[in-house]
A = this chain, B = another copy of it.
Amino acid sequence: MENRNHSETYEKLVLSAEKLFAAKGFYGTSIRDVAQSLSIAKSSVLHHFPRKEKLYAVVLQRIADDMTRELQSIRSDGTDEFTQMLSFIALMCENTKNRPDRDLIILRELLDNPNRADKARKWYFAPYLNELSRIVSSGMEKGLFKPVNPGLFVFHLLGAHHYFIICLPTVRKLFEAAVFDRMVLDHRRELEKMVEDKLARPRKPKPQK
Binding site for B on A (CB under 8 A): 23-28, 104, 107-108, 110-115, 123, 126, 129-130, 149, 151-152, 155-156, 158-164, 166-167, 169-171, 173-175, 179, 182-183, 186-187, 190, 194, 197
Q: A27-B28, A149-B186, A159-B164 are in contact. List 13 more A-B contacts (CB 8 A).
A: A25-B27, A25-B28, A107-B107, A114-B169, A114-B170, A123-B174, A155-B160, A155-B171, A158-B163, A159-B159, A159-B163, A159-B167, A160-B163
Task: Indicate if the CB atoms of B152 and A115 lie closer than 8 Å.
Answer: no
Task: Indicate if the CB atoms of A152 and B25 lie closer than 8 Å.
Answer: no
Task: Indicate if the CB atoms of B107 and A186 lie closer than 8 Å.
Answer: no
Task: Indicate if the CB atoms of A174 and B129 lie closer than 8 Å.
Answer: yes
Question: Can you list 29 A-B contacts with CB-CB less than 8 angstroms, sorted by A residue number?
Answer: A23-B115, A24-B112, A24-B115, A25-B28, A25-B112, A27-B27, A104-B111, A107-B111, A107-B166, A111-B111, A113-B170, A114-B169, A114-B170, A123-B170, A123-B174, A126-B174, A129-B174, A151-B175, A152-B183, A155-B171, A155-B183, A156-B163, A156-B164, A156-B190, A156-B194, A159-B159, A159-B160, A159-B162, A162-B163
Minimum CB–CB distance from A76 to chain B (whole Å) comes to 22
Task: Indicate if the CB atoms of B27 and A183 lie closer than 8 Å.
Answer: no
Copies of this chain present: 2
Task: Indicate if the CB atoms of B174 and A155 lie closer than 8 Å.
Answer: no
SS class of chain A's interface: helix, strand, loop or mixed?
Answer: helix
Report the separation of the CA atoms of residues A170 and B112 in the bound assembly, to the nearest whole angstrom. Answer: 10
The verdict on A169 contacting B25 (CB below 8 Å), with A129-B174, A174-B129 known, is no
Task: Indicate if the CB atoms of B23 and A182 lie closer than 8 Å.
Answer: no
Report the separation of the CA atoms of residues A104 and B107 in the bound assembly, to the nearest whole angstrom. Answer: 11
